[in-house]
Structure 1
Amino acid sequence: MTTKLYCGKCGSFMVGESGTSHTMKVHRYYRWVNTKKKKLCDKKAVKKDWIEDLVVNYIMKAIMNDEVMERLLDTLMELQKKERTDLPFLKKQLEVSILQEEMHKPMLTREQIAFFIYRFRKFDVTKREQRQRLIDSFVNAVYFYEDKITLNFNYKDGSKAITLAEVEGSDLSVLGAGKRLRGIP
């Protein structure tokens, strides 16, 4: 999530780091770039597994919601139509040029797009590569504030603010996530 996680206070992005405790346990976390080099922000580091679990959890909730998936499919179908701006001009050209353009960028059917998107519902989120594909496919940015986290998804109107109270009331609170929202204890 290094390229997707930002500080809500200073706007800097986060980079992954790790450290070893006196018990030789490795701790992985994300640290704000501005705290690391320039000391421009006082935000604490965030545990890597916790923030990734939170993001993946909300992605899976969206994927399992049929209404959200239908809106996503509608948006993708509209985007696909808008991207074909050269086609009207080419229709005035030779028929060969039209065929070349259509072969270069074929239109996908709603069923083909749905097949691709609904496959994410079967992902095993305990597998690192499948978690990464979920995040890469659905998350544009994550903004981390003192009292909330804002997830910006890769679809129109795809923003979700999660408050500290919601995290403390979620399944993630069992993992102690509420305490870790503000950093590493």
Structure 2
Amino acid sequence: HKAEDDYLLTTKLFCGMCGAMMFGECGTGRNKVVHHYYKCATAKRFKTCKKKTVRKEWLEDLVIAETMKLIQDDAVIDAIVAEVMELQDQENTTLPFLEKQMREVENGIENMLNAIQAGVLTNSTKSRLEKLEAQQKELEIRIAEEKIARPRLSENQVRFWLTRFRKLDPNVKSHRETLINTFVNAVYLYDEKVLI
């Protein structure tokens, strides 16, 4: 907890050997220089994992460099945009259901108006039409609320938002945090490789 601010990969970095979370630590060397590194929680607490500690600066620089390399690639941006567009279609199940109900209500109103136009006007047709119109107004409000709660983004909006990250300076701490928080889900650290 004490290291959350200084260690950018806290909660996202895992040991490749045992799967435990790795956390930030620091220690002072013989020449009074403070060293920052990440250590496997299992290796520290139980001494059952053989994962070596890794220098903080080296690992964070590597993750930032790989992330920047990915967002500079137009093919990667295109793939992310396509995925976002697909997720937007899948995510909201309420809006399509409300729109379907609205079509059914509009068809019902149309049928009632056709019946009235054909001369079939009774108390029940009038009350049924009023109910359908009230239902239509309620559905209009619910559809509008749903669209406001979950606005649909266009491909250009998503692409613009993603390409803004290309302008971030990887040497500025707040920019580094933004890159990691936005694009990095997890990092698995092995002795011989890093899986981002």
**TM-score interval for Structure 1 and Structure 2 normalised by the shorter chain:** 0.7 to 0.9
Select 1:26's aligned residue among 10, 13, 34. Answer: 34
Instruction: Report the Cα offset of residue 19 of structure 1.
Output: 1.2
Instruction: Report the Cα offset of residue 74 of structure 1.
Output: 0.7
RMSD: 1.1
Tell me how far apart the structure 1 counterparts of residues 163 and 191 of structure 2 sit (CA, whole Å): 34
The normalised TM-score by structure 2 is: 0.74
- Which protein has the larger Cα radius of gyration, Structure 1 or Structure 2? 2
Equivalent runs, 1:1-150 vs 2, <5 Å? 1-91=9-99, 92=101, 94-150=139-195
Tell me how far apart the structure 2 counterparts of residues 41 and 74 of structure 1 sit (CA, whole Å): 40
* CA deviation string 1:109-142 (max 9, x = no partner): 1111111110111110001111111111111111
Read off the aligned partner of 1:141 and give its amino acid letter.
A
Tell me how far apart the structure 1 counterparts of residues 41 and 59 of structure 2 sit (CA, whole Å): 17
Read off the aligned partner of 2:167 and give its amino acid letter.
K
Instruction: Report the Cα offset of residue 50 of structure 1.
Output: 0.4
Read off the aligned partner of 1:126 and give its amino acid letter.
N
Higher helix share: 2
Higher relative contact order (CA 8 A, sep 6+): 2
3-state SS in 2 of match to 1:140: coil
Tell me how far apart the structure 2 counterparts of residues 146 and 110 of structure 1 sit (CA, whole Å): 40
Structure 1: 5+ residue stretches without partners = 152-185
Instruction: Report the Cα offset of residue 146 of structure 1.
Output: 2.2
Tell me how far apart the structure 1 counterparts of residues 37 and 193 of structure 2 sit (CA, whole Å): 18
Instruction: Report the Cα offset of residue 22 of structure 1.
Output: 2.3
The normalised TM-score by structure 1 is: 0.79
The number of residues matched between the two structures is 151
* CA deviation string 1:74-94 (max 9, x = no partner): 111111111111112222161
3-state SS in 1 of match to 2:79: helix
Higher strand share: 1
* CA deviation string 1:40-93 (max 9, x = no partner): 201111100000011111101101111111111111111111111111222216
Tell me how far apart the structure 2 counterparts of residues 2 and 127 of structure 1 sit (CA, whole Å): 18
Read off the aligned partner of 2:191 and give its amino acid letter.
E
